[in-house]
């Protein structure tokens, strides 16, 4: 009997994290669902044992698995390559240091029974309690974002994010100018959902689809990583202001955020301004066109 076409694709970009990827794949193997689904892993130029790990997993697992190799660095490019390789109509993005709960496919399928939703994020728990509580969202409160409204940064994160395929094709995928392996380490997840919301799609944070985030960063590393995150936020600020589709929605939101930080967080404001300046200096006017999924084309 011919296997059913996958309705859901789980996409994992990875780079030189074989020891965590092995644990992530173990969690993926425990997924329980009757929905046809597939796994796409994009090896973003790993030089450790990741290629061997992936080949062994693909041979031994009963999960339909595709391995994409690409040499161009960047998590956003890797996710775009995963989108091109995927067959599912619902795409779930998981980072290689995030361990999914077994019901993640069914939980996201329930969320997307609402046809108005174009994107959704889920709960991210801290895997190691000794890690600094960064890049997680353990809230059990559902939050919905109506179409055409401002979406706050940080509520939805790329380690546990789902988007409809046709929505990704409509907006052009992830922007390769932001995210890991760029000077603007973070906020690529926020950037893409702002474009989706501005295109008329609703979204939200739903606590049922859950992962554990094994980021491994301790307190002493947090300051540098927060600085990098704020640079990324500043870069996205400049993009939101430059784009006429998002300017009207986000200028009041950005001003409120800056005014709220004026009293206690001058350093954050200065870093965000610096990030905006760096982004504008590094990218000419042509860079503000909509991203293209071709930016994630895998290497031959």
List of residues 6+ apart from 289 with CB closer than 8 A: none
Quick check: helix, strand or coil at residue 170? Answer: helix
Instruction: Give the CA angle between residues 102, 99, 206 to the nearest 5°.
Output: 70
The reported pLDDT for the residue numbered 296 is 61
The reported pLDDT for the residue numbered 199 is 96
The reported pLDDT for the residue numbered 286 is 46
The reported pLDDT for the residue numbered 12 is 98
Mind giving me the DSSP string for 66-116?
EEEE--S--HHHHHHHHHHH---SEEEEE-TTEEE-TTHHHHHHHHTTSTT
Domain boundaries, the chain: 8-218, 224-286
Q: What is the pLDDT along the chain (300 residues), one digit of tens a residue?
A: 445 678 999 999 999 999 999 999 999 999 999 999 999 999 999 999 999 999 999 999 999 999 999 988 999 999 999 999 999 999 999 999 999 999 999 999 999 999 999 999 999 999 999 999 999 999 999 999 999 999 999 999 999 999 999 999 999 999 999 999 999 989 999 999 999 999 999 999 999 999 999 999 998 888 888 999 999 999 999 999 999 999 999 999 999 999 999 888 999 999 999 999 999 998 864 455 567 775 666 543
The reported pLDDT for the residue numbered 283 is 81
State how far the Cα of 77 lies from the Cα of 180, in Å rounded to an integer: 10
Q: What is the pLDDT of residues 6-31, one digit of tens each?
A: 899 999 999 999 999 999 999 999 99
The reported pLDDT for the residue numbered 2 is 46
Dihedral, CA atoms, 43, 177, 249, 233, nearest 10 degrees? 90
The angle that helices 244-261 and 266-282 make with each other, rounded to 10 degrees, is 150
The reported pLDDT for the residue numbered 220 is 80
List of residues 6+ apart from 260 with CB closer than 8 A: none
The reported pLDDT for the residue numbered 6 is 84
State how far the Cα of 176 lies from the Cα of 44, in Å rounded to an integer: 13
C-alpha 151 chain-centroid distance: 15
Q: What is the pLDDT of residues 109-163, one digit of tens each?
A: 999 999 999 999 999 999 999 999 999 999 999 999 999 999 999 999 999 999 9
Nearest to 82 by CA among 44, 51, 36: 44
State how far the Cα of 230 lies from the Cα of 187, in Å rounded to an integer: 9
Architecture per CATH, 8-218? Alpha-Beta Complex (3.90)
> Most distant CA pair in the chain: distance in Å?
65
């Amino acid at each position: 009997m011919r296997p059913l076409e996958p309705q859901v694709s789980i996409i994992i970009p990875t780079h030189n994290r074989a020891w965590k990827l092995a644990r992530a794949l173990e969690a993926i193997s425990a997924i329980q669902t009757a929905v046809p689904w597939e796994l796409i892993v994009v090896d973003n130029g790993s030089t450790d044992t990741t290629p061997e790990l992936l080949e062994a997993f693909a041979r031994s697992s009963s999960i339909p698995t595709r391995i994409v190799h690409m040499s161009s660095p960047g998590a956003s490019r890797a996710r775009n390559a995963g989108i091109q390789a995927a067959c599912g109509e619902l795409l779930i993005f998981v980072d290689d240091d995030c361990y999914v709960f077994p019901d993640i496919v069914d939980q996201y399928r329930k969320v997307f029974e609402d046809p108005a939703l174009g994107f959704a994020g889920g709960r991210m728990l801290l895997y190691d309690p000794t890690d600094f509580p960064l890049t997680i969202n353990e809230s059990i409160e559902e939050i919905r974002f109506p179409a055409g409204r401002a979406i706050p940064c940080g509520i939805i994160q790329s380690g546990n994010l789902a988007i409809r395929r046709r929505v990704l094709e409509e907006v052009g995928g992830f922007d390769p100018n932001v995210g890991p392996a760029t000077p603007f380490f973070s906020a690529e997840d926020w950037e893409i959902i702002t474009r989706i919301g501005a295109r008329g799609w609703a979204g939200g944070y739903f606590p049922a689809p859950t992962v554990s985030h094994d980021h491994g960063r301790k307190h002493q590393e947090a300051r540098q990583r927060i600085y990098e995150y704020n640079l990324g936020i500043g870069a996205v600020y400049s993009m939101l202001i430059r784009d006429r589709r998002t300017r009207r929605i986000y200028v009041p939101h950005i001003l409120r955020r800056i005014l709220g930080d004026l009293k206690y967080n001058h350093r954050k404001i200065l870093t965000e301004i610096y990030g905006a300046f760096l982004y504008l200096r590094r990218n000419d006017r042509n860079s503000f066109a909509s991203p293209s999924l071709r930016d994630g084309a895998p290497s031959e």
